[in-house]
Structure formats: C-alpha cells, structure tokens
Structure 1
Amino acid sequence: GIGTRGPGETKLEVDRRKIRKRISFLEKKIYQIGVQRDTQRKKREERNIFKIALVGYTNSGKSTLLNAATDSDAYVEDRLFSTLDSTTRKLKIYPNSEVLISDTVGFIEKLPHQLIASFKSTLEEVKRSDLLLLIVDVCNTDFENNIYSVKEVLKEIGVWQKPVLLVFNKIDKLSRGELNSLKIKYKNSVFISALKRSGLPELYLRIKKMIERHYLNIIVKIPYNENKIMSFIYNNCQVLRRRDLVDSTILNLNVNSKYYSILSRYICRGRESREANIG
C-alpha cells in the first residue's frame, strides 16, 4: 500500500518519501491558491478599494483580530502556519468606501528562502495592500526581536516602504504598569486585546485617519462625449455630488490618490473650481 516499505527501504527512507510527497502536494495547493488570489486581486484593483494586510510573527493574534474586526470566523489555532492562504474580509468602518482586511501567514525568524518562494502567493496580499498592521504579541518575551524579524521579511519582499501601524495585542495579560511602560516606549502605536475586543475603537480611528490621507476630494468637469472617463469615474470613484450643464457634467469626487493622474486634465482649478463647486 501507499507509504509501506519497498524492497530494502529503511523506516527513515519511507519517512523521507512521505515528506517529499507531502511537500509536492502543498506546493501544488499553494500554486492553485496563488492563481485564485491573483484573479481576486485583479478584480479588487479595478475598483476603488482600500486594502489592509495583517502581518506579524506567527501566533501574534492576527486571525483573532480579523474575526473581532469583521465578525467572521477565520480559522484560529495556536500553531505554526495555521493560516496558510490569505483570508480576506470586508471591514465596515469607513462610510461609503470599501475597506478590505486580509490575514496572512505568520512570519518566523530567519524564514528560509524556499519558504518565502512557497508563500509568495499569500504574501502578495501584503505587496498589494495600502496599509500594513503589524500585530505584536506582548506576551512573548522576545517580541522586540519578533518585530525585527517581521521587518526583515517585509524588506525582503519589498514592502517596508508602505504605511505600517504597530498594533500591540493581548494587553489583557499585562499589568497596568507594564502597559503604561509599553505606551511610553511605543508612543505612536495602538494597544488592543483582540480576544477581549478592547482597544478596537482606537484602532479603527487610526485606520480611518490613514484612509483619509489616501483619498482626495476633487471637482472635475467631464464633457458629455467623454463616455469612457465617465464610466471609469463611476466604477472607481465615490461620486459625492453631480450637476449637469449644457455641454458637460460637474462632479464632486472622493478618489484614490493613485487615480489622480488619470483625472488631472479634468480637474477644476482656481476660479473655475470655485464656480464649479456644487457643495
């Protein structure tokens, strides 16, 4: 049968053969996940969606935070790589705009290069995100080295330049004095207990502020014969107000800053902006 010894095989050789088969199976599964995720990401990028990725050392509480923030039931287990693929959910904290938050595989110190290659599909969520939440387990006495390890992996995959918010998790396990000391040392960070759902309002407020910096409010004037750009606007931007003129349409928009160059030639400026303002 499968897994039994062949002629002259030792138990060690049988075990190695089983491991090779398991690795081959997992590599195929990860490749399939990558193809599926790539299709999903392309669809998201066609729309005006702000994307958040949860990153952190393994068992830092990323999946627990995802569940708490989105009222979902992502798989949670206290083991290495319990989250193999990325789990993405909608986060309803910003009115009239879609926000997606993705859990990712837990990082480990000195992550082997072959594992980085294998987990490329899951780390793509990190590369495509607009904001990284670096989740830290304050119960781990070596958490500062863990932060360093995560930063090194983020640098290796080329995303450390992205906005990063440090989120200290499991603060319910700390004394008041320990928590105060941590807040003094990491002044610009957020402190939560995902399990107890404490500190989440402050986290949401910080996320909202970062989203607001990511978007622009502009006024554009679109001629009626520009059907393609009008379609683009309604598919990718938030239309706040609209006024139809004889030969064109004036739109107040909330738009992702990455679309500025596409819309720049239609933007009303100076006196034209004041005259066109419909708010």
Structure 2
Amino acid sequence: MSERVILVGVETEKNYQQFESSMKELKNLTKTANGEVVFSMVQKRPQPDRQTVIGKGKVTELQQLAEAHEAELVIFNHELTPRQSQILGDALAVPVIDRVQLILDIFAMRARSSEGKMQVELAQLNYLLPRLIGQGKNMSRLGGGIGTRGPGETKLETDRRHIRNRITNIKRDLKEVAAHRDRTRQKRKDSQIFQIGLIGYTNAGKSTILNMLTSADTYEQDQLFATLDPLTKRWRLPEGLEVTMTDTVGFIQDLPTQLIDAFHSTLEESRNMDFLLHVVDASSPERIQQEQTVLRLMEELALTNMPVLTVYNKADQIDEDQFVPTLFPHVLISAKSTKGKERLSQAIKMELMQLLQPYHLVLQANEGKALNRLKRESLVLTNTFDEESRTYHIKGFALADSSPIRRMEKDEQ
C-alpha cells in the first residue's frame, strides 16, 4: 500500500533553471519508492530559510495541508541539515525526509548483491549518524515505510559507537570486495579483451541495450535506478570480435555525495573501460539537462578523457526527422527493435576502427586456429584466401598493446 506524501520545493536564485525538472523528478522518485503524491508545495525565495527552509509562516501552512490531505510523510527537495530535520519534524508532527534520504531508500529497495546492500547501508549510516537526535519517532513508525528501509530501526536507535563500528566493518568488507573486483578486472585486461562500459542517466535504457546486445537476463524496467549492481557480459560483434559490456548504476540530478563515495568501487568500473557508451533518453523533455548531469559526474569521476559514443535511445517515442542531437559522435536507435541492434553494432564498429590499430596479416592454409583466434580477438574486416600461394590475407583492427600480430610473431618464434 502506498504512503500519502506531500512534496516541498523552494525555487531560489541558484536553482531556478533546473527547479521544475527537479520537482518532476522528485515526484517520479516518490512514485518509485511506492509513495502517492497528494500535494506539492512550491515557494519562491532568494535562498532557503536557515532554520526551516520555507520559513515559519509556510511551516504552519504545511502543517494544515498535512492534516487536510492526511499525509503520512513530507519530502523536501533539498538536503536538510540535522537541525532543520529536527525542527521540521517537531513542528509538523509528521515524519520529514529529504531528497537524499529518498534516493538512499530507493537504492535500499534495488540492491540485490551483498556488495550493493553493503554500499547502500554505508551511505545510509553515514547520512543518518548526525541526524539520530529526534529520529526516534520517525524510525519507530509501525510497518516502516519510505525513508526507513535498509539498515533498519534497531541499528539506528542503538548508540553512535555501534554505528561507527558498523561503518568501519562495512568499509573493511567493501575493501575486500574491491580487491576481488580489481583482480577480475586485471584478468580481463590480461586476457586482452576490449572493455565497453554503459553509463547514463537513470532510466535511459542501459539495461535494455545490454540485454539487446548480449541476451543478458538483467532487470529491465521503466523505473528509476532499476539497475544498481554492475553486471559484465560478453558480446560478440557480427564480425566475430569478443568484447565485454558492463552496465553501471544510473546517474541523477544532485546524486548524493554519500552515494558517490559509497559506490566508488562500482563507478570505478567505468574508469577502467576502453570505451564508453553514454546512453541518453532521446524522448525525455529534460534530455539536455540529463546530458549535462552525466557529463558533470563524468568530470567528477575523471572519465572525460575516455572515448565516448552517445547512444540516443527510445527513437520509437520521437519523430526522428525532428530530432536534433547535441553530443557527438552519436547514434539514434530504439533498443526495442532489431534495426536498433544493427545500427548500434555498426556505430560501435565505426568507433572501434578509430580506436584500434590497423593490421594486415598473412596466414598459411594450415593456420586455422590462429585465424579463429584473430576473429575473436580483433576486428576482422576482410579475409581472403589466395589459391595460388595457399595463404589467408587478413585485414583488420586490434588493440595497440595487445596486437594479434605480435602474438602471432611470438608463436612463430
């Protein structure tokens, strides 16, 4: 059963350009967390009130609205300080959470792997530790609800030392997981497999594209943060080259810093890729805003020097002739169609030809094994057999530091 929620947003001189899209997104986030928005309170002021964000008069109005709409929860579209949370909670007599807590709550719902669960718990505990005073009423709500998922009330109501110990233990466990991830990543590097990473705004269609290309059975839904745990699958291009594709957590406006910190090892996957696919929802009214958010986060994660192909997805939901792209190089597709798969495969192939080193190799007729390996480990464009000399003439592209030519030479020595 969904909870009745009132949303509160303050439009200021700093946020007026993104304010409308941010409020719309907050509504979608609330829906994802199984909340029903019964009212949205919007206020314009030069800057948020230091004590209550909205000022005393608006707090009284909000209290009346909460009673009139029988609201069970109030969500602010701003990160509240511990003091603001306490003042608002006491004044409204209804649990109050902010955008950060809401996003953390959705992550708690979505986490499937033990690593994902640990990362969410770490982010929640770090966020809630300074806010424990005055959280008693909120945390002991019968039946839980939005903002209470994850670590659970017992952990949050025990003393700070217990929580700090838990944070230390999670960090230690996550270090071990990160070390294991590093070893797996290094193995992939050693095996000289080209690595492609999928990044983009939440709900842009990354999982759908991964499923389309690799037939991976990933969770694919029209929801915010449907994917939380990174998933790596092998994909074979039509030409035969085998690469890995890694899906990562979606980005969002004002992604909480606690999450960026907690998910560092996950997001680090993107940094170790050879090539990135930036998936964009071409049908979204906030497309430009979403692109900018991802580009800004890529900068924070030191991903700006990496080769990127922008994949404008959901072409089936727009008029293709009217579409004006803003990022280059790009390809416009619908991940729901077979034509989309062909278009994307072709676009990736063209980009790989820019990134890889060209080669021309001659193999003897009895070197069939070597030929098969070439097809798997490099992008073979032409393969002709000369009857007279009984040799294969192969032209293609391969990674510079793992060129199959070098490996063939080693084998011949």
Task: Provide the TM-score with structure 2 as the length reference.
Answer: 0.48
2:192, 2:402 within 8 Å by CA — same for their partners in 1?
A: no
Amino acid at match of 2:286: D
In the other structure, the counterpart of 2:352 is 211
Residue 271 of structure 1 corresponds to none
Shift of 1:96: 4.5
2:399 is aligned to: 256
**Could you tell me how far 1:219 is from its partner in structure 2?**
7.4
**Secondary structure in 1 aligned to 2:216?**
coil
In structure 2, the CA distance between the partners of 1:185 and 1:32, relative to structure 1 (3 Å rule), is same
Q: Which of 95, 110, 124 is matched with 2:268 structurally?
A: 124
Q: How is 1:108-147 mapped onto 2 (pairs within 5 angstroms)?
A: 108-147=252-291
Change beyond 3 A, Cα 1:13–1:253: closer
Aligned residue-pair number:
230
Could you tell which deviates more after superposition, 28-37 or 49-58? Answer: 28-37
Q: Judging changes above 3 Å, is the alpha-carbon distance between structure 1 residues 168 and 156 closer, same or farther for their aligned structure 2 residues? A: same
Distance, in Å, in 2 between the alignment partners of 1:9 and 1:99 is 49
Q: Out of 301, 310, 321, which is 1:180 matched to?
A: 321
- Residue 192 of structure 1 deviates from its aligned partner by 1.3
1:158 aligned residue: 302
Following the alignment from structure 2 to structure 1, what is the Cα–Cα distance between the partners of residues 325 and 271?
31
Work out the CA distance in 1 between the residues paired with 2:179 and 2:221.
Answer: 26
1:12 aligns with 138
Distance in 1 (CA, whole Å) between partners of 2:300 and 2:279 is: 18
Match of 2:31 in 1: none
Secondary structure of the 2:276 match is strand
CA deviations 1:73-129 (Å, max 9, x no partner) are 111234443322211111111534321111100001122322112111221221111
Query: What CA distance in whole angstroms lies between the structure 1 residues aligned with 2:396 and 2:135?
Result: 70
Q: Secondary structure at the match of 2:290?
A: helix
1:83 equivalent to 2:227? Answer yes
CA contact (8 A) 1:64 1:194 kept: yes
Write out per-residue CA displacement over residues 158-211 of structure 1, whole angstroms, 9 at most, x where no aligned residue: 11111111111111112x3xx212156667421111133442211111111222
Q: Which amino acid is the alignment partner of residue 42 of structure 1?
A: Q
Tell me, in whole angstroms, the C-alpha distance in 2 between the residues paired with 1:31 and 1:132. 25
Q: Which runs of 5+ in 2 are unaligned?
A: 1-133, 141-147, 157-162, 362-372, 384-394
RMSD (Å), alpha carbons: 3.7
User: Do 1:48 and 1:98's aligned partners in 2 also have CA atoms closer than 8 Å?
Assistant: no
- For residue 50 of structure 1, what is the aligned residue in structure 2? 194
Change (3 A) 1:29 1:200: farther
Question: Any conservation in 2 of the 1:56–1:135 contact (CA below 8 Å)?
Answer: yes
Alpha-carbon distance in structure 1 between the residues aligned to 2:180 and 2:344: 30
Which amino acid in 1 is paired with 2:198? L
Bigger drift between 23-32 and 140-149 goes to 23-32
Aligned residue for 2:314?
Answer: 170
**C-alpha contact (below 8 Å) 1:48/1:255 kept by paired residues:** no
Matched to 1:214, the amino acid is L
**SS of corresponding position for 2:199:** strand
Q: 1:134 and 1:40 mapped to 2: Cα distance?
A: 24
In terms of mean alpha carbon deviation, does 110-119 or 181-190 score higher?
181-190
Q: Is 1:56–1:150's contact at 8 Å kept on the other side of the alignment?
A: yes
For residues 123-172 of structure 1, give each alpha carbon's deviation from its aligned partner in whole angstroms, at most 9, with x where no partner exists. 12211111111111123211110000000111111111111111111111
2:293 to 124, 136, 149: 149
Q: Distance in 1 between matches of 2:136 and 2:262?
A: 29
CA apart distance, 1:12 = 2.5
* Cα contact 2:309–2:328 (8 A) shared by 1: no
Partner of 2:91: none
Residue type of the partner of 2:137? K
- Give the TM-score of the pair, scaled to structure 1: 0.68
- Aligned-partner SS, 2:236: coil
The 2-side partners of 1:90 and 1:51 are apart by 9
Percent sequence identity over aligned pairs: 33
Show the counterpart of 1:229: none
Please say which structure displays the higher CA radius of gyration.
2
Q: Which amino acid aligns with 1:203?
A: L
Question: Paired residue for 1:194?
Answer: 335
Are residues 1:100 and 2:244 paired? yes
User: Structure 1 residues 33 and 139, CA, compared in 2 at 3 Å: closer, same or farther?
Assistant: farther
Cα distance change on mapping 1:184 and 1:75 into 2, 3 Å: closer
Once residues 191 and 179 of structure 2 are traced to their aligned partners in structure 1, the CA distance between those partners, rounded to angstroms, is 20
